[in-house]
Amino acid sequence: MLSVNIPVFNIEVSDLVMQIKKQAEILAIDYDIRIYDDCSDDSIKLKNRWLQEIPHVIYLELPKNIGRSAIRNKMGFDSTRRYQLFIDADSRLVTDRFLEKYLNHASGECVICGGTSYSDKKPVDTKKMLRWKYGHVREAVPASIRADKKGFIISSNNFFIESNLFKKVHFREELNSYGHEDTLLGLDLFINGTKPLHIDNPVEHTGIEDSIIFLDKTRNALKNLLQISKTVGENGPVLKSKMNFLKQYEKLTVLIPQPVTSWLFKQLRVCLERQLTGKNPRIFLFDLYKLGYYAEINR
């Protein structure tokens, strides 16, 4: 009935796996938990290997890193179950009815997005403040808001999909690095005639990166977004209509031409990065940073 797919890269997943196993056993469903390691450090592999001894767990170590999209596709193609649930390794279940809620909404060629939550406690390490703040403000939102603002855009950290549909419409592997591979999947599903159902069934994101790392990942994601926007062809207007960031960028560059926006970003970049990596980063300035960087790379 269900494959729970957890792609792993340098994260210990014992607690998450045991949470999932407990819920699946209570529901008495046919299931497997797939743990595919994308060439993690040996120290992490040693911590996760014991999981292969647990019934219903399929543990596989890949000999080389194949990337975020490819490993998810491999898990999806290998599964023989009717439904699949993809969860990022740096997650924690926050309800005892997590699996049950997804299965209660499952029907036909469905795609269901459960959302993301964050701990209410501020991180002790102020270097993680930007990621925590951004998660609280922009990601930890109820299903009604996600359905209204995101539409067909999904988040790959926590989504449920019917297997035949996934094998027909899956991640495009030309995006090897971090960022927006799930945006492209959502667009492809929408073009296929499938719109996700957004429900309130979040996982808590526990892998809070340092601000410097998060900024680097953000820049990489924006490069991917630019690549996507230039390759989707006639579906470009559809993408822009559902991506708030692209709509904001278009409005900004109508008021301030792209070359000027790029120039301003160059002048302010160091100051913005200093503020965003400090003790009290402001999300408004993070938004400006992203818009400026997008203008810079979109020359």
**pLDDT tens, position by position, 7-48:** 999 999 999 999 999 999 999 999 999 999 999 999 999 999
The answer to whether position 122 is within a domain reads yes
Do 263 and 182 belong together in one domain?
no
The answer to whether position 222 is within a domain reads no
User: What pLDDT shows up at residue 238?
Assistant: 82
Name the band, by pLDDT with cuts 50, 70 and 90, for residue 153.
confident
Residue 240 scores a pLDDT above 90: no
Do 263 and 156 belong together in one domain?
no
The answer to whether position 218 is within a domain reads no
The answer to whether position 213 is within a domain reads no
Of 208, 224, 245, the residue at which a domain comes to its end is: 208
Do 146 and 58 belong together in one domain?
yes
Q: Largest Cα–Cα distance of the chain, in whole Å? A: 60
Distance between CA atoms of 7 and 69, rounded to whole angstroms?
Answer: 10
Do 111 and 186 belong together in one domain?
yes
Do 145 and 9 belong together in one domain?
yes
Tally the domains of the chain.
2
The answer to whether position 113 is within a domain reads yes
The answer to whether position 227 is within a domain reads no
**DSSP string spanning the chain?**
-EEEEEEESS---HHHHHHHHHHHHHHT--EEEEEEE-S--HHHHHHHGGGGGSTTEEEEE-SS---HHHHHHHHHHH--SSEEEEE-SSEEE--TTHHHHHHHH--SS-EEE--EE--SSPPSSGGGHHHHHHIIIIIS--HHHHHHHTTT---TTEEEEEHHHHHHS---TT--SSSSHHHHHHHHHHHTT--PEE-S--EEE-----HHHHHHHHHHHHHHHHHHHHHSGGGHHHHHHH-HHHHHHHHHHHHS-HHHHHHHHHHHHHHHHHHHTSSS--HHHHHHHHHHHHHHH--
Do 30 and 150 belong together in one domain?
yes
Distance between CA atoms of 160 and 198, rounded to whole angstroms?
Answer: 10
User: What pLDDT shows up at residue 232?
Assistant: 79
Do 108 and 244 belong together in one domain?
no
Q: What is the mean pLDDT of the chain?
A: 94
Name the band, by pLDDT with cuts 50, 70 and 90, for residue 253.
very high
User: What pLDDT shows up at residue 236?
Assistant: 80
**Could you list the residue range(s) of the whole structural domain that residue 68 is in?**
2-126+139-208
If one compares 202 and 148, the residue with the highest pLDDT of the two is 202
Do 26 and 119 belong together in one domain?
yes
The answer to whether position 43 is within a domain reads yes
Name the band, by pLDDT with cuts 50, 70 and 90, for residue 130.
very high
174-212 burial, b for 16+ CB within 10 Å, e for fewer?
Answer: ebeebbbbbbbbbbbbbeeebebbbbebbbbbeebbbbe
Residue 151 scores a pLDDT above 80: no
The answer to whether position 239 is within a domain reads yes
Indicate the pTM of the whole model.
Answer: 0.93
Residue 137 scores a pLDDT above 80: yes
Do 58 and 19 belong together in one domain?
yes
Mean pLDDT, residues 190-209: 94
Do 40 and 172 belong together in one domain?
yes
Do 174 and 283 belong together in one domain?
no
Do 108 and 240 belong together in one domain?
no
54 neighbors 32 (Cβ within 8 angstroms): no
User: What pLDDT shows up at residue 136?
Assistant: 93
Of 192, 208, 224, the residue at which a domain comes to its end is: 208
